[in-house]
């Protein structure tokens, strides 16, 4: 999921907001300001309800972020790199670069999420009781009590044994430990996720059709999310199984066509697409032959026409620090999620700084098709 509003880094992890966060902030704010808060504590001015509701929605987002950060911190301590965290309408997503190395690590990474939400719920409960004991503002107490309840609900819901929920990962860790087969455990957790998703969709629509309760749309929406995500996780696990232990050197294109950084852009364009430069992206080499960047047709298209007469390839290329790179001995399964999230959907393969190849999603897809055909059992 692509972030639309970067928030910087927290604990070394890049954090961003998806545009759909506005939906949950608006929903929480309106629900509290127009419903729960004035119903529980009438007599306050309207602005007070809206201010308290908006502040509560922001703190709720912070508790979701704490949940995902807990996953990220524990994942890094167990040797799993975290690319980023994105908050969105239905919660948050911590994107891990690879899977847990063993069931114990999976158990720790998954279990810390519901535990964090439960601890947050307990802290908010204690704070609400403390404020009530000293006769603090009832509006403040009500908002904090809502935060306590919603965090406890998140902890319970996330602990359900169904993928992609944290409970589904706990179930996978248990089955992985019992059977020793990660793929089999993933299939079981994904099946549980789809069952829970269909149950929520059916009950949600039943509530809307027979009881006229429009709030049933939310469990139906969450159920759809569970089904689609559980199915995607199972598919990704199958891909990882097929590509397991496959190094990048086996799928990369060796000795790719390159271009010098000093090459005039006009000369570069004159050679394509029917001459030497008939691809859509090319590694760029410095004068000493080392890789210095990547130039793509898209980058050239963004160059104004008058500038193309005097510019060089080095002027329009994407510099090497901004280009995805990998080593020939890296595993394809670890590179794949980084490649899917990259801007150019390709990576330069460097061996001690020397360019030895280039790998694209098409290269991996082609290898996957062959390997999947070779390993699929005959009917």
| Sequence-separated contacts (24+) of 295-302 with Cβ below 8 Å | 295/259, 295/268, 296/344, 300/265, 300/268, 300/269
pTM: 0.76
CA-to-CA distance for 218 and 69, rounded, in angstroms?
25
CA-based nearest residue to 186, from 202, 175, 196: 175
CA-to-CA distance for 133 and 44, rounded, in angstroms?
21
What average pLDDT does this structure show over 149-156?
A: 95
Summarised one tens digit per residue, pLDDT across range 46-60 is 999 999 999 999 999
pLDDT at 117 over 50: yes
> At CA 42, angle to CA 38 and CA 46, rounded to 5?
60
Which of 90-94, 128-132, 213-217 holds the top average pLDDT?
A: 128-132
Which of 86-100, 290-304, 361-375 holds the top average pLDDT?
A: 290-304
Q: Give the model's pLDDT for residue 366.
A: 87
Point out the catalytic residue in the list 68, 142, 233, 234: 68
Lowest-confidence pick of 98-112, 161-175, 220-234, 271-285: 271-285
CB 261 within 8 A of CB 286: yes
CA-to-CA distance for 95 and 167, rounded, in angstroms?
17
Q: What share of the chain is helix, strand, coil (3-state, %, to 5)?
A: 60, 15, 25
pLDDT tier for residue 274 given thresholds of 50, 70 and 90? low
**What percent of the chain stands above pLDDT 90?**
57
Burial 3-41 (b: 16+ CB within 10 A, else e): beeeeeeeeebbbbbbeebeebbeebbebbbeebbbeeb
Summarised one tens digit per residue, pLDDT across range 72-83 is 999 999 988 887
What average pLDDT does this structure show over 3-29?
A: 84
Summarised one tens digit per residue, pLDDT across range 286-332 is 999 899 999 998 999 988 988 888 999 999 999 999 999 999 999 89
Summarised one tens digit per residue, pLDDT across range 125-152 is 999 999 999 988 889 999 999 999 999 9
| Sequence-separated contacts (24+) of 90-97 with Cβ below 8 Å | 90/24, 90/221, 90/222, 90/225, 91/64, 91/67, 91/154, 92/64, 92/65, 92/67, 92/68, 93/1, 93/68, 94/13, 94/68, 94/69, 95/1, 95/337, 95/341, 97/334, 97/337, 97/338
Q: Give the model's pLDDT for residue 4.
A: 65
Burial 289-328 (b: 16+ CB within 10 A, else e): eebbbbbbeebbeeeeeeebeebbbbebbbebeebbbbeb
E strands, the chain, where? Answer: 5-10, 13-17, 82-88, 91-96, 253-254, 259-260, 281-285, 291-296, 318-319, 325-326, 346-351, 354-360
pLDDT at 378 over 90: no
CA-to-CA distance for 220 and 302, rounded, in angstroms?
43
What average pLDDT does this structure show over 165-177?
A: 94
Q: Give the model's pLDDT for residue 379.
A: 47
Query: Is 68 among the residues known to form the active site?
Result: yes
Output phi, psi for 182, to 5 deg.
-65, -40
pLDDT at 223 over 50: yes
Higher local confidence (pLDDT), 338 or 102: 102
Residue-range domain boundaries for the chain = 5-243, 248-375
Within 10 angstroms of residue 361's Cβ, the number of other Cβ atoms is 14
Does domain 248-375 bear CATH number 3.90.180.10? no
- The mean pLDDT of the chain is 89
Q: Give the model's pLDDT for residue 5.
A: 80
Strand 82-88 relative to strand 346-351, pairing = unpaired
């Amino acid at each position: 999921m692509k972030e639309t509003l970067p928030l910087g880094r927290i604990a070394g992890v890049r954090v961003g907001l998806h545009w759909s966060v506005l939906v949950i902030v608006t929903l929480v704010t309106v629900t509290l300001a127009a419903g729960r808060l004035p119903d529980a504590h009438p007599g306050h001015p309207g602005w007070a309800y809206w201010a308290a509701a908006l502040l509560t929605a922001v703190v709720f987002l912070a508790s979701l972020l704490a949940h995902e950060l807990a996953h990220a911190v524990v994942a890094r301590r167990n040797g799993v790199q975290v690319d980023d965290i994105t908050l969105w309408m239905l919660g948050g997503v911590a994107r891990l670069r690879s899977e847990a190395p063993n069931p114990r690590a999976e158990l720790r990474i998954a279990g810390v999420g519901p535990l964090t939400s439960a601890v947050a719920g307990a802290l908010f409960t204690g704070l609400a009781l403390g404020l009530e004991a000293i006769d603090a503002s009832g509006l403040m107490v009500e908002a904090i009590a809502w935060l306590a309840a919603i965090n406890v609900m998140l902890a319970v819901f996330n602990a359900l044994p169904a993928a992609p929920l944290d409970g589904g990962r706990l179930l996978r860790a248990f089955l992985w430990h019992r059977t020793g087969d990660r793929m089999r455990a993933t299939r079981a957790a994904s099946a549980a996720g789809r069952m829970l998703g269909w149950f929520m969709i059916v009950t949600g629509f039943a509530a809307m059709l027979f009881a006229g309760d429009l709030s049933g749309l939310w469990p139906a929406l969450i159920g759809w999310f569970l089904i689609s995500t559980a199915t995607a996780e199972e598919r990704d696990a199958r891909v990882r199984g097929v590509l397991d232990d496959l190094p990048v050197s086996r799928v990369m294109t060796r000795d790719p066509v390159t271009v010098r950084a000093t090459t005039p852009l006009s000369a570069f364009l004159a050679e394509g697409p029917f001459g030497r430069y008939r691809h859509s992206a090319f590694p760029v080499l410095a004068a000493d032959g080392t890789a210095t960047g990547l130039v793509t047709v898209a980058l050239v298209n963004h160059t104004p026409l008058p500038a193309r007469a005097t510019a060089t390839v080095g002027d329009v290329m994407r510099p090497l620090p901004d280009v995805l790179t990998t080593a020939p001995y890296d595993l394809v399964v670890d590179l794949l999620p980084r490649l899917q999230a990259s801007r150019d959907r390709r990576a330069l393969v460097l061996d001690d700084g020397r360019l030895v190849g280039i790998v694209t999603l098409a290269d991996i897809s082609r290898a996957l098709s062959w390997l999947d055909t070779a390993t699929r059992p005959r009917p």
